[in-house]
Amino acid sequence: MQIYKFLKDINFPSDLRKLPESNLQEVADEVRREMIDAVSKTGGHLGAGLGVVELTVALHYIFDTPNDKLIWDVGHQTYPHKILTGRKNKIRTLRQGNGLSGFTKRSESEYDPFGAAHSSTSISSAFGIAEANKLSNKLNNVIAVIGDGAISAGMAYEAMNNAGASKTKMIVILNDNDMSIAKPVGAMRTYLAKLLSGKIYFSLRETFKLITSAFSKRFSAKAGKAEDFLRSAFTGGTMFNSMGFYYVGPIDGHDLNVLLPILRNARDSKHEGPIMIHIKTQKGKGYSYAEKASDNYHGVSKFDVKTGEQIKSATNLPTYTKVFANTLIKHAQKDSKIVGVTAAMPAGTGMDIFGKEFPKRMFDVGIAEQHAVTFSAGLATEGYKPYAAIYSTFLQRAYDQVVHDVAIQSLPVRFAIDRAGLVGADGSTHAGSFDITYLSTLPNFIVMAASDERELVKMINTSVDINDRPCAIRYPRGTGAGLELPSIDEKVEIGKGRIIQEGKKVCIISLGTRLNECKIAAEELKSKGITISIIDARFAKPLDKELIIRCARNHEVMITIEEGSIGGFGSHVKNLLAENGVFDKGLKFRSMTLPDIFIEQDNPKKMYDIAGLNASQISKKILDILFVKDSIKVVKN
């Protein structure tokens, strides 16, 4: 760690509270420098955290954390919080194996009362904690910080609707940085912009007067009317007030001289009901390269602090995301009915590339996956071909819409499921572990999994012509194998797998990108006299029943391989074989899936070792089945 005047002696918020207020800006400056230096060595989320440094210092200075509960929305903005809450000496282990999580995590610290890596959960969880305190006669403050685009999600409004009708005190900080991962979209962005037009900041005296007058129990009726008029004149009568929140702001979230008295008065007030403090911040604040970046350095690889230059991978291989986007563009050039939909992740899903080519046919609906799915369903009813490009982990948030609005109505929404499988440094909260299982159970669905970038192109080509039911294509994070891509005319037959190689003793049926590991395992076993058939299943639904049953009857052992949870592809294959009496003939069947645990962040190789899905583990699984216990003789083919 660098040498700091104040930060060297601050290990917990209690140390911070020993300092006079006059030193807090210097503390904030040191926290910002420490964060920049740490992330330059680990990579991670930078811009959001830089924007809340002063707020983080102010919150921990004014409130008695961890007794007072501080809940952060979208935990990627909590690196400064981690530095001040006992994790300073581990900050350079961010997102590494056995290191600090890139998000808030209850098991990591008592200062993280609620874990968050997805968005828009803070007000709901804070209201739950506040109600629990009320039931237990506890007087602890509960503070939720929501921002970085999270206010655009419906869950935030469900929570405000519930909390606003209560008499339960809680404090919500609306961190308005005019950004999420990409530029925010929708009416809420316009609404907040209107609040910020004209004279947008209170002076310290005005703010103090407003707060103290609003929360005083002794102000006269006349003074109360004057205060109401002031609030109304300043905000234009905000929606937040209408929802039952006492609204204050917007104020400068980087000015500690304003933040501290407002937070102190909110803490000490006897106001019954929720309070919302609207602050304006700048994403990337205090680091010039982040301030100038279009995404304000939301997520970065390791970088040079002096130049801002990020250390990029040396590979020139295309990512699966770009292969998807570029293929879709080729089809959209020929088919005007093709449209793209994303939920606040245009760059992450490749929809930014599609949107540049077809700006009127790409819809970023904000952090609103439920809406994205049903919006896509609406497009499909009118003959359009929507491609809803959503990460696997985020599609979980819209499962009812997938079932009720898409599958039951058999609408041809095409789901492009990015980040399927394990995702490395983002860990368990962002892993695409469950989509095979939660989609393959649905009637009317086609579920495809690309084993490489060539197969991805063919599956996209195939999906364009699926007009009678929904389909999904899952593909992983990262780069392909560098294969030559097929034309947009090459397709796959729905529900048909492909034979990669044929052997006699063992049949491996692989779904998705572990196919190459299956090939390596087969080569290892060939030297032991075991010949293996390998099938690329391509489809989790519909299954290639004829091929699977034939292979089961012609081999002694069958193993399914998938980068997904139990209950997915392997379970469907096992059910198929059982229903057709194949097990009665002595078939030895096993499924290799992701284990029944949440796999924590690490480098991909180690994560696959934990999952048991690397080539050596596939080989061992086969040998364990074929060997007679305690025998050293290898069974020949």
Query: Residue 295: its pLDDT value, please?
Result: 66
- pLDDT under 70 in the chain at which residues? 1, 148, 178-238, 294-296, 314, 628-637
Report the alpha-carbon distance of residue 389 to residue 416 in Å, rounded. Answer: 5
Catalytic residue, candidates 30, 54, 369, 453:
369
Class of domain 7-208+237-297: alpha beta
Report helix, strand or coil for 604: helix
Surface-to-core class of residue 134, CB atoms within 10 Å of its CB (0-12 exposed, 13-18 middle, 19+ buried):
middle
Report the alpha-carbon distance of residue 207 to residue 262 in Å, rounded. Answer: 7
**Do the beta carbons of residue 477 and residue 423 sit within 8 Å?**
yes
DSSP designation for 396: G
> Would you state the structure tokens that stand for residue 495, as one six-digit string?
């529900």
> Would you state the structure tokens that stand for residue 157, as one six-digit string?
């409004």
Reported pTM: 0.84
Query: Residue 296: its pLDDT value, please?
Result: 61
Report helix, strand or coil for 595: coil
Length of the chain: 637
> Where are any strands of DSSP class E within 35-136?
44-45, 69-72
CATH code that applies to domain 320-474: 3.40.50.970
- Strands 69-72 and 362-364 turn out to be unpaired
Query: Residue 167: its pLDDT value, please?
Result: 87
Report the alpha-carbon distance of residue 381 to residue 406 in Å, rounded. Answer: 10
CATH topology for the 498-626 domain: Rossmann fold (3.40.50)
SS3 sequence of 115-181: CECCCCCHHHHHHHHHHHHHHCCCCCCEEEEEECCHHHCHHHHHHHHHHHCCCCCEEEEEEECCCCC
Query: Residue 183: its pLDDT value, please?
Result: 54
Report helix, strand or coil for 203: coil
Report helix, strand or coil for 25: helix
Query: Residue 206: its pLDDT value, please?
Result: 45
Same CATH topology for 7-208+237-297 and 498-626: the answer is: yes
Distances (CA, A) of 207 to 263, 392, 403: 11, 44, 49
Report the alpha-carbon distance of residue 267 to residue 428 in Å, rounded. Answer: 35
State phi, psi for 121 to the nearest 5 degrees.
-100, -10
Catalytic residue, candidates 105, 283, 285, 538:
283
Query: Residue 187: its pLDDT value, please?
Result: 53
Closest C-alpha to 127, from 108, 144, 146:
144
> Where are any strands of DSSP class E within 450-581?
471-474, 498-501, 506-511, 532-536, 539-541, 557-562
ω into 66 cis (within 30 of 0): yes
Closest C-alpha to 394, from 435, 351, 449:
435
pLDDT tens readout for residues 570-595: 999 999 999 999 988 889 999 999 99
Query: Residue 189: its pLDDT value, please?
Result: 52
**Do the beta carbons of residue 270 and residue 153 sit within 8 Å?**
no
Quickly count: other Cβ atoms within 10 Å of residue 610's Cβ.
Answer: 16
Report the alpha-carbon distance of residue 517 to residue 563 in Å, rounded. Answer: 12
Catalytic residue, candidates 87, 397, 414, 477:
397
Q: At what angle do helices 24-42 and 53-62 cross, to 10 degrees?
A: 130
Report the alpha-carbon distance of residue 473 to residue 464 in Å, rounded. Answer: 12
**Do the beta carbons of residue 410 and residue 469 sit within 8 Å?**
yes
Bridge partners, 28 (sequence order)? none
**Which residue's entry shows tokens 């075991």?**
530
> Would you state the structure tokens that stand for residue 285, as one six-digit string?
């604040």
Alpha helices in 278-387 (DSSP H): 288-292, 320-334, 346-349, 351-357, 369-381
Whether 369 is catalytic: yes
Report the alpha-carbon distance of residue 276 to residue 170 in Å, rounded. Answer: 9
Q: What share of the chain is helix, strand, coil (3-state, %, to 5)?
A: 45, 15, 40
Bridge partners, 329 (sequence order)? none
Report the alpha-carbon distance of residue 73 to residue 227 in Å, rounded. Answer: 31
In the chain, where are the structural domains located?
7-208+237-297, 320-474, 498-626
